[in-house]
A and B are shown apart, each in its own frame.
Chain A
Amino acid sequence: MAHFEKANSIGEWLDQRLAVETLKRVLQTEYWIPKNINFLWAMGMVLAATFGILLISGIFLLMYYQPNVNLAFDSVNYTIMSQVGYGWLWRHVHGVGASVVFLIIYIHMFTGIYYGSYKKGRELIWLSGMLLFVLFSAEAFSGYMLPWGQMSYWAGMVITNLFSGGSLHANGLVEWIRGDYVPGQAFLNRFFMLHVLLVPLAIIGVIVLHFGTLRIPHVNNQDGEEFDFAEAAELYKAGNVKESKVIPFSPVFLSKDVLVMGVYFLFFFYLVFYHFEFAMDPVNFDPANGLKTPTHIYPEWYFLWSYEVLRPFSTNIGLIAFATAQVIFFMLPFLDRSPNVAPASRRGAFQIWFWLMLLDILVLTFMGKLPPQGIWSTVGLVAALTFFALWIALPIITKFEKKL
């Protein structure tokens, strides 16, 4: 056995057995963050905190929620909302959290795109981040099924029907996913399992991976500048804090993160207490009815852009367009052919590409909410075609980009 000395404090006792000092050094005091970054770099920790809040509120909802087609609706809308002490709080926190987490995810993604933080050694950060986006989408969709209202049922119907592959007519696959001919008890139970166990477990795993991928390349900075972290760290440790280009993650950088989080949570709890209704679709306050479709079916706001890519086309083309839109962002590090790691503002044509892409996603989002009629159909179609045109243009314009 290893030799142990008598410890003089709890900290020392733990350090002998768990090497907590080494852990603290590696993960906090000597994990280096560039100085030249702004509040947008706090979005990652804001996301982590929001996930924590979803987890805690979800655990309390879980105490009264009933995954049964006859009971689910009332267990949420009656028991949790009006019987359970502060049940409404968990529900509103959970609903607002699920919606706002996507707003922050989109900001986080577009920050990465703007500063070129997916290139040259940072590809895995981008890929694991996209994996998190897909997992959060699955988490939000499966959670949306649980209150078993009209929107739950019909969103479940429409989204699982996507898997019939249009003309492939793969009804067997759709029924396999549902465990029934239509969404029913088997369907609710398996999406409940996914929502409260399998997907959150996968999310936690991929968050760890995402952090791991950051370690070696380090986070990017506002100028895309490449510098020697070891050298900068030595400078900092030697006391030349001003001259060094880096600061330690904890406690120095974390205190800045906490400031941004503070502002964010003011906004968050303002929504929870005064504007939770934006996260609660009124149609979902009618219990699920398999014999009546709501007049308009639309997803939550964060899925609208990809829904609008599906809508203007015929079944098969629509499906291909939708499937492509779901995965195309994974390809970004490989479709951007320019070696420049720099903010979009210094990258010529790419700057135009960036703002057009952002604008196009916004237009698609607004069109997705409007009924598919008249001029809105046309605007939606043009925006959907622009989306694909931009992705086709990306390798070409970045190929010709001037090397900085």
Chain B
Amino acid sequence: MADLMELTDENYADFIARQDGILLFYKSLCPHCKAIKKVMQRFAEKGSEALMAQIDTEANPQAVQALEVERVPTMILIKRGGIVGRKIGLLNVKELAELYKTI
């Protein structure tokens, strides 16, 4: 399984502006974050065009503040150079695919 691209305070805004993708806000000792990461990897393996990235909330406070992330895991859904939705908490691969298609 390919790892998610690791972003920081310096480059997350650029990712949002340029990619169709999903950005996961996570914490290293958070089991639900690890599960969502697996779900995103599975979604990518199934042929999703969305680029998958993650950002560590403990090391990147500016991104956390700017996007008002209060809980992990939070997924920021990005299309056409902008944020089109967000999803907090757990969901499965099918639900993620459906969510990303419909937003």
Please determine whether chains A and B interact with each other in the same assembly.
Answer: no
